[in-house]
Amino acid sequence: MAIFTGAGVAIVTPFKENREVNYEQFAKQIEYQIANKTDAIIVCGTTGEASTLTHEEHLDVIRYCVKVVNGRIPVIAGTGSNCTETAIYLSQEAEKAGVDGLLVVTPYYNKATQKGLYEHFKMIAESVKVPIILYNIPGRTGGVNILPETIVRLCTEVENIVGVKEATGNISQVAKIMALANGKVDLYSGNDDQVVPLLALGGKGVISVLSNIAPEQTHNICQTFFDGKIEESRDLQLQALNLIDALFCEVNPIPVKKAMNLMGMEAGPLRRPLTEMEEPNAARLEKAMKEYGIL
């Protein structure tokens, strides 16, 4: 059984003006997500600026998220690293915190071979009991791509590696994964503009940036598809496309934090090296939000 189906939010980590984690605001974000039908919370991923959290902050944010959610929906923690031992440590601590699953990104900078990727993910999985979703995003990892054969091998041979968040944008690769999968791979879209195409190939849902500002709408894209209303689901996907494009006109999570601040959700500033959104792009984002009806 999949860790979740539908739209899981890749949740933002809010900061105070001094760039400390704003836990009070984080609790409000979590409650907003649950109240608006989000199907799972993915904490300390790319959108949560995990790469600029200390290990202590990273784990504290995971623990706090689990505590606030309190079993109402699944919590999946990002625990990947380019160092296998670090990823094992974070994964074990997240498991102790009570998460329902882990999201483990392809190691970056090292540029591992397919053999290295297999051994990296296998070692992490064998160190914990909770289910793991692989996170394949070559654009963030120096172009390193987990090939379909490696994904399927991991999901087949390692009991608690259950699926993949596919953010290559390559539909042909996704199709090959599912052609080889034999029911062994839970597929999640890592791109908000490709939710319906991946659902059509057998996907379980999306791990979404859009859900931070439009949780019910993103949930509905998935749920209408599962309900057999394919044309309606497609239309919902297309209606969101302009906003999705604006949310990625600068590197994530710069635009989504700007969008949340425009909505009064107090996501706060970004940690360096990320900087505030350029004015023309901010204007484009605000216009798209208004057109979509969330501002």
Question: Which residues are catalytic, by number?
Answer: 135, 165
Residue labelled with tokens 């709408």: 217
DSSP string, 122-184: HHHHHT-SS-EEEEE-GGGTTT----HHHHHHHHHHSTTEEEEEE-S--HHHHHHHHHHHTT-
> Are 10 and 29 in contact, with CB atoms under 8 Å apart?
no
Residues 6+ apart with CB under 8 A from 56: none
Tell me the backbone φ, ψ of residue 214, rounded to 5 degrees: -140, 60
Q: Name residues whose C-beta falls within 8 Å of residue 78's C-beta, 6 or more positions apart in sequence.
A: 42, 43, 44, 45, 46, 48, 50, 102, 103, 104, 105, 135
Q: Look up residue 37 and give its two tokens.
A: 């039908």
**How many residues are there in the chain?**
295
